Chains A and B, each alone.
Chain A
Amino acid sequence: MTITLEQLSKTYEGSHQPVLKDISVQINEGEFFVIVGPSGCGKSTLLRMIAGLTGISSGKLMINGEVANQMPPKDRALSMVFQSYALFPFMNVAENVGFGLKSRKLPKDEINHRVNEALAMVNLSELRDRKPKELSGGQRQRVALARAIASEAKICLMDEPLSNLDAQLRAKMRIELKQLQRNLGLTVIYVTHDQVEAMTMADRVMVLNDQKVQQVDTPENLYQHPHNSFVAQFFGTPQINLLTANVTQCELIIDSALHLPITSSRINNSKVLIGIRPADVRIRVGSQGANARVAAVSYLGDQLVITADLNDSQTIRIVAGSQMQVAPDDLIKIVGIKCFDVFDINSKELISIQKGDVNDARVAAAEF
């Protein structure tokens, strides 16, 4: 089962502003495909368009090579898991899971068999006679999953299914969901605003922002080779540093504190945006040759997140080992940067990626 979107757009009635513009992608069979983006970017709308719950304004939606723009939801051979779980409060667990199978006029044995199997798969066999209100959030979530499984649809759409769970349970369910998807060979299209969910579960991720696709790629590529500063900023905690730099003949200068070498002939603006991952910055504490002042330190157990002010107005986040002795107002020297990305200051598109260490000498040196 493949799903192809060709220049899919959505404009709501009575509005001129499109919610989605020219979305094109092919989702392959058995793929765990995550749609991620900030709230209001249209990711849920896109999912609902695939489900058939929201109309398509223009473009083409193809399910298994067949145009499905006008196809009613039930004929699209897919299941959906909602953020609210959409369980029927007056039905018990088994009835909830079997709901929809009855209306497909399946024989009773078949329904029972599927319900039992689906409940066993999510470890809920014992609770089959309970009502949803007698279940915990995690268990309700599993009932919703079991219903999707029981439908035996090869495509499963999930709309932020884990966002109502607490952090620990969410981490556990992420792993279970992924296993389930692999075992059943499901094609999953999963909507979330959570970059960690996207990174940990996805085979491929589509990043949406400003009604448009920013990048469709594997989690590794999104992190290593972001197409623009939005994608770079969306993935990774703490967030990537985006610093404005002046371009001179041979250097990129950030706040007169950091001098980085020009690595690509494509850098020809007078200003650029430099993306530096906090973990890629190496520092030394001490006033000698310092080029930054510590503003705040957050202790995270295995690491420290240091926020430091550069010469002028820009701040930089740095991840350091937790054994480092550093406090607010200390002077530090940024001695090395492992790699950095250069983005166009206007279009925010990637210009070049510098790999490999920029050492002490070249980072250097204006006095703080």
Chain B
Amino acid sequence: MMLESLPQNSNSNDPSAQSAPAQLLTTAQWRKDNLYVALFLGPSLLILSVFVFWPMIKTLYLSLFLTDNLGHASEFVGISNYVNLFKNPAYLSSLGATLIYVVAVSILTIVLGMLLAVTAQQRLQGIRFFRTIFSSTMGISVSVAAIFWLFAFNPSVGVFAQISQALHLPEINWLADPHFALLAIVMTTVWMNLGFTFLILFGALQQLPASLFEAAEIAGVGKTKQFFKISLPLISPTLFFVLVVTLIDAFKSFGLIDLMTVGGPNNATNLLVYRVYQDAFLNGNYGLASTESVVLTVIIAVITLIQFKLLGKRVNY
């Protein structure tokens, strides 16, 4: 059928074929084309509508209502959900904690990932083994990582406790201490992120042509300068990609918190997504949770937009 339609298509582009029958044909063709478009786009549109668009609209809708505990809108309250939200000190502290968490995770992930990638590039004995190890956290699920780190942070048998004992440092109860719980979650998240980030950055570094560095070597440019003046600018598109992905991912962190701290202690790790979950499914306050969802979406969108505007210009070619 497609083959049949091809000559007709080219007819319609030909100015000499603007006679009435040709026009009729093109109209029929036009209908046929639309059918194909509908057939191809239909399934994905349907799935996206059910699982993305409709929930988005519903969330936006619910954020303007008070709801009963089954999630039905009961009373229209306009933007007062939003106003109340930003008056709530607990929410504001969640917002603050989230921002600290996101910035810390993004910076640490990229800096450490970069360090590992540069290390893995060196010609050292057995470096292949380490390359595998460095990227191995990619294959570890959140639940396994959470259990592993719960052990590590355990105040009596955990590796951190033993280190601080051996060094006669004050003991820290990582996950129960409001000052350290967020840091513990940051460390765990960074550890989880490193595999992927390392692999992407390492791949980018390996792609760079050796002759550029040889030219620099002959010109007398030192290794450190080579890294900052040649490697970094050349992998800036990759860095930008990793930054955006890590940032968005960090905003959406849920699993580790649910498994390790359940938002505590004292709400220290009650990040935005976790608060949405608590308000909706534990407290049954769907209207408020919807409001929080919308705010979170806007925050992520705005920050990503700013990133593209600011960094997009500095990313080379």
Do A and B assemble together?
Answer: yes
B230 and A88 form a contact (CB under 8 A): yes
Stretch at the interface among A16-24, A97-105, A237-245, A339-347: A97-105
Question: For residue A86, which residues in chain B have a CB less than 8 angstroms away from its CB?
Answer: 209, 211-212, 214-215
Question: For residue B68, which residues in chain A have a CB less than 8 angstroms away from its CB?
Answer: none
B211 and A82 form a contact (CB under 8 A): yes
B218 and A78 form a contact (CB under 8 A): yes
A53 and B221 form a contact (CB under 8 A): no
Dominant SS among interface residues on chain A: loop
Shortest CB-to-CB span from A1 to chain B, Å, is 15
A141 CB-CB contact with B under 8 Å: no
Q: Name B residues whose Cβ lies closer than 8 Å to a Cβ of A.
A: 209, 211-212, 214-222, 225, 230, 233-234, 316-317
Other-chain contact of B218, A51, A84, A89 (Cβ < 8 Å): A51
B211 and A100 form a contact (CB under 8 A): no
A100 and B214 form a contact (CB under 8 A): no
Question: For residue A52, which residues in chain B have a CB less than 8 angstroms away from its CB?
Answer: 217-218
Shortest CB-to-CB span from B217 to chain A, Å, is 5
A88, A131, A133 interface centre (most CB from chain B within 10 Å): A88
A88 and B212 form a contact (CB under 8 A): yes
Q: List CB contacts (< 8 Å) of A305-360 with chain B.
A: none
> What is the 8 Å Cβ interface bit string for chain A, positions 77-114, against chain B (1 contact, 0 not)?
01110111010111000000001110110000000000
3 nearest interchain CB pairs? A100-B219, A74-B220, A90-B316
A84 and B219 form a contact (CB under 8 A): no
Q: List CB contacts (< 8 Å) of A42-96 with chain B.
A: 51-53, 73-74, 76, 78-80, 82-84, 86, 88-90
A90 and B233 form a contact (CB under 8 A): yes
Question: For residue B212, which residues in chain A have a CB less than 8 angstroms away from its CB?
Answer: 86, 88
Question: For residue B209, which residues in chain A have a CB less than 8 angstroms away from its CB?
Answer: 84, 86
How many A residues, CB 8 Å from partner?
A: 25
A187 CB-CB contact with B under 8 Å: no
Other-chain contact of A133, B230, B234, B317 (Cβ < 8 Å): B317
Shortest CB-to-CB span from A72 to chain B, Å, is 8
A9 CB-CB contact with B under 8 Å: no
A80 and B222 form a contact (CB under 8 A): no
Q: How far is the CA of A147 from the CA of B221 in the complex (A)?
A: 14
Question: For residue A147, which residues in chain B have a CB less than 8 angstroms away from its CB?
Answer: 215
A89 and B220 form a contact (CB under 8 A): no
Q: How far is the CA of A104 from the CA of B221 in the complex (A)?
A: 8
12 A-B Cβ contacts within 8 A? A52-B217, A82-B211, A82-B214, A82-B215, A86-B211, A86-B215, A88-B233, A90-B233, A99-B215, A99-B221, A100-B215, A103-B220
Shortest CB-to-CB span from B313 to chain A, Å, is 13
Given contacts A86-B212, A89-B316, A89-B317, contact A73 B234 (CB under 8 A): no
Question: For residue A88, which residues in chain B have a CB less than 8 angstroms away from its CB?
Answer: 212, 230, 233
Question: For residue A51, which residues in chain B have a CB less than 8 angstroms away from its CB?
Answer: 214, 218
A103 and B218 form a contact (CB under 8 A): no
A228 CB-CB contact with B under 8 Å: no
A151 CB-CB contact with B under 8 Å: yes
Shortest CB-to-CB span from A48 to chain B, Å, is 8
A79 and B317 form a contact (CB under 8 A): no
Closest to A103 in B: B221
Question: For residue A101, which residues in chain B have a CB less than 8 angstroms away from its CB?
Answer: 219
